[in-house]
A and B are shown apart, each in its own frame.
Chain A
């Protein structure tokens, strides 16, 4: 800070004084300005807004009284913390970034009015005070925007994670047989999450066979194919078996062209075929029940009734 540091300190002191002395009137004007700008949006009651503003004003006064005009210093940590909390909660309530920043910016006019009165006829003092307070409030306003955006970003991240988990349901098809119907395009990140979920479900349910059905997947790239392969291998390492079903002709071609070696992975054209194979591997067969309960053909292997479990 150039030669202005003494000026800033003096200005800060004066600003602090105005904030202390005229607090009630200032508060009134400031709250009114926000309410009339519809910035409170009905999500914050007038009473709550008032309380927030009052707290901010006293924090601001204290920070300004420290003499430092730099809002990044420790004297201003209380103010920053307050604004960070405000910002985060407004982000959660669906306020826009402007609606949040206006909390700070709308303080300018009421404050300038009182600074003018306090400065009296001394134009220089008034200019210094306005400059100093503008710097402070601009920095704080921008700070709220930054926190707001960070908060939004992490919210979006969490929502994406939730969506990811919801969109990959692992289904228990039969005793010890899981199915994972995959739908839509598989990007690397999604595939990894899906696969981790599937493997965990295999452990949790003790299922020996998992059918990964990719009927609903339009295209598969090298990375995805490799992830699928890795999943199958990991499942095998754990002691379970994976069958991949629903491979469309186009995907089969892609896999061959990409040179991905499916060696050893069992694939079936349809989920039904995969289920049939899974039954076979678990020593089951499906037998048609005869209409009159008479002598139908029965297999000697253990039978599974369609409704039994």
Chain B
């Protein structure tokens, strides 16, 4: 899975969420995704960045442009050192929320991308990786 370009962004404040949206939009456009697919991945990024910030206490967003043969893609990894998620399956169900919000972040984000991977250890943190292929 050759990474042809990567960038690490910090997630410390809500301004950073805006910055992440901008960057992801630019990378998605550069990848040649159509408008709807761009919108989907930027929205997913916004959801996950917000999770890392609000539930994870802050973290990082890593953007990677991929080239696998003739296939091109965009991979985003959101990582935090927060409390982690004890029951991932539960967190992934629609409507689940721990803070009175609409709680659609994880399961919703999953539907917006091609690949979705989540790893979380209570007490250590959470890492979510999403990929969209062109």
Q: Residues of A with Cβ closer than 8 Å to B? A: 150, 192, 196
CB-CB under 8 A from B30, the residues of chain A are none
CB-CB under 8 A from B36, the residues of chain A are 192, 196
The distance in angstroms between the C-alpha atoms of A192 and B36, with both chains bound, is: 10
Q: Residues of B with Cβ closer than 8 Å to A? A: 36, 70
Minimal Cβ-Cβ distance residue in B for A193: B34
CB-CB under 8 A from A196, the residues of chain B are 36
Minimal Cβ-Cβ distance residue in A for B34: A196
CB-CB under 8 A from B70, the residues of chain A are 150
User: Smallest distance from the beta carbon of B43 to chain A beta carbons, Å?
Assistant: 14
Minimal Cβ-Cβ distance residue in B for A195: B36
Interface pairs A-B: 3 shortest CB-CB: A196-B36, A192-B36, A150-B70
User: Smallest distance from the beta carbon of A237 to chain B beta carbons, Å?
Assistant: 13
The distance in angstroms between the C-alpha atoms of A150 and B70, with both chains bound, is: 10
Task: Provide 3 A-B residue pairs closer than 8 Å at the C-beta atoms, listed in order of the A residue.
Answer: A150-B70, A192-B36, A196-B36
The distance in angstroms between the C-alpha atoms of A196 and B36, with both chains bound, is: 8
User: Smallest distance from the beta carbon of A230 to chain B beta carbons, Å?
Assistant: 11
The distance in angstroms between the C-alpha atoms of A92 and B4, with both chains bound, is: 30
The distance in angstroms between the C-alpha atoms of A189 and B9, with both chains bound, is: 34
The distance in angstroms between the C-alpha atoms of A196 and B35, with both chains bound, is: 10
The distance in angstroms between the C-alpha atoms of A192 and B37, with both chains bound, is: 11
The distance in angstroms between the C-alpha atoms of A273 and B12, with both chains bound, is: 56
The distance in angstroms between the C-alpha atoms of A1 and B124, with both chains bound, is: 51
The distance in angstroms between the C-alpha atoms of A162 and B36, with both chains bound, is: 18
CB-CB under 8 A from A150, the residues of chain B are 70
The distance in angstroms between the C-alpha atoms of A196 and B70, with both chains bound, is: 26
Minimal Cβ-Cβ distance residue in A for B70: A150
CB-CB under 8 A from A192, the residues of chain B are 36
User: Smallest distance from the beta carbon of B32 to chain A beta carbons, Å?
Assistant: 11
User: Smallest distance from the beta carbon of A199 to chain B beta carbons, Å?
Assistant: 9
